[in-house]
Structure 1
Amino acid sequence: MTTSPARTPDAVRAALSKVPEVTLYFWVIKILATTVGETAADYLNMTLGLGLQKTTVVTVVLLAISLCAQFAVRRYVPALYWWTVLLISVTGTLITDNLTDKWGVPLTVSTVVFTVALVAVFAAWYASERTLSIHSIRTHRREAFYWLAVLVTFALGTAAGDLISERLGLGYLISLIIFVAVIAALTASHYTLRLNAVLAFWAAYIVTRPLGASLGDLLTQPADAGGLGIGATATNVAFLVVIVALVGYLSATRVDRIEQSSTEAPPRIASR
Structure 2
Amino acid sequence: MTRTPRLFRLLPSPGITAAKVPEITVLFWVVKVLTTGMGEAASDYLGETNLILGGVVGVGGFVLALRLQLRAERYRAPVYWFCVSMIAVFGTILADVLHVASGLPLWATSALYALAVVVMFTWWRRSEGTLDVHSITTVRRERFYWATVLATFALGTAVGDLTGLAMHLGFLPSGLLFTAAIAVPLLAWRAGASPIATFWAAYVLTRPLGASFADWLGKEHSIGAGLGLGDGPVTLVAIVLIAVLVAVMVRRGDDVQRGVAPVADIPPPGAGSGPSTNRKRSEPGDATVERARHALSDASTSERHDDGVTR
Normalising by structure 2, we get a TM-score of 0.77
Q: Secondary structure at the match of 1:224?
A: coil
Map 1:34-113 onto structure 2 (within 5 A).
34-46=36-48, 48=49, 50-51=50-51, 54-113=53-112
In the alignment, does 2:194 pair up with 1:196?
A: yes
Unmatched runs of 5 consecutive residues or more in structure 1: 1-9, 264-272
In the alignment, does 2:259 pair up with 1:255?
A: no
Q: Does the 8 A contact of 1:16 with 1:259 survive in 2?
A: no
Partner of 1:270 in structure 2? none
Q: Does the 8 A contact of 1:31 with 1:208 survive in 2?
A: yes
Letter in 1 for 2:90: T
Q: Secondary structure at the match of 1:227?
A: coil
Q: Does the 8 A contact of 2:174 with 2:212 survive in 1?
A: yes
Give the Å deviation of 1:223: 2.6
- The separation in 1 between residues aligned to 2:217 and 2:121, in whole angstroms, is 33
**CA offset digits 1:203-244 (Å, max 9, x no partner):** 111111001110011101123330112112221222111111
Give the Å deviation of 1:177: 0.8
Partner of 2:219 in structure 1? 221
- The separation in 1 between residues aligned to 2:134 and 2:35, in whole angstroms, is 21
- The separation in 2 between residues aligned to 1:54 and 1:252, in whole angstroms, is 34
Q: Does the 8 A contact of 1:176 with 1:214 survive in 2?
A: yes
- The separation in 2 between residues aligned to 1:229 and 1:18, in whole angstroms, is 38
- The separation in 1 between residues aligned to 2:235 and 2:178, in whole angstroms, is 21
Number of residue pairs aligned between Structure 1 and Structure 2: 249
- The separation in 2 between residues aligned to 1:227 and 1:182, in whole angstroms, is 21
Q: Does the 8 A contact of 1:15 with 1:259 survive in 2?
A: no
Q: Does the 8 A contact of 2:91 with 2:153 survive in 1?
A: yes
Partner of 1:169 in structure 2? 168
When the two chains are superposed, the root-mean-square deviation of aligned CA atoms in Å is 1.7
- The separation in 1 between residues aligned to 2:161 and 2:83, in whole angstroms, is 23
Q: Secondary structure at the match of 1:223?
A: coil
- The separation in 2 between residues aligned to 1:233 and 1:262, in whole angstroms, is 43
Partner of 2:33 in structure 1? 31
Partner of 1:187 in structure 2? 186
Q: Does the 8 A contact of 1:219 with 1:230 survive in 2?
A: yes
- The separation in 2 between residues aligned to 1:57 and 1:139, in whole angstroms, is 30
Q: Secondary structure at the match of 2:222?
A: helix
Q: Does the 8 A contact of 2:43 with 2:89 survive in 1?
A: yes
Give the Å deviation of 1:54: 4.7
Give the Å deviation of 1:55: 1.7
Letter in 1 for 2:149: V
- The separation in 1 between residues aligned to 2:17 and 2:182, in whole angstroms, is 31
Partner of 1:178 in structure 2? 177
- The separation in 2 between residues aligned to 1:73 and 1:158, in whole angstroms, is 28
- The separation in 2 between residues aligned to 1:203 and 1:262, in whole angstroms, is 27
Q: Does the 8 A contact of 1:186 with 1:200 survive in 2?
A: yes
- The separation in 1 between residues aligned to 2:260 and 2:57, in whole angstroms, is 39
Q: Does the 8 A contact of 2:46 with 2:53 survive in 1?
A: no
**CA offset digits 1:233-266 (Å, max 9, x no partner):** 2212221111111101111221100132349xxx
Q: Does the 8 A contact of 2:40 with 2:211 survive in 1?
A: yes
Map 1:230-241 onto structure 2 (within 5 A).
230-241=229-240
Letter in 2 for 1:243: I
Structure 1's consecutive aligned runs of 4 or more residues displaced over 6 angstroms after TM superposition are none
Partner of 1:268 in structure 2? none
- The separation in 1 between residues aligned to 2:109 and 2:221, in whole angstroms, is 28
Partner of 1:6 in structure 2? none
Q: Secondary structure at the match of 1:201?
A: helix
Give the Å deviation of 1:15: 5.6
Give the Å deviation of 1:57: 4.0
Partner of 2:144 in structure 1? 145
Q: Does the 8 A contact of 2:17 with 2:73 survive in 1?
A: no
Give the Å deviation of 1:62: 1.7
Percentage identity across paired residues of the two chains: 39
Letter in 1 for 2:190: Y
Give the Å deviation of 1:145: 0.1
- The separation in 2 between residues aligned to 1:206 and 1:85, in whole angstroms, is 13
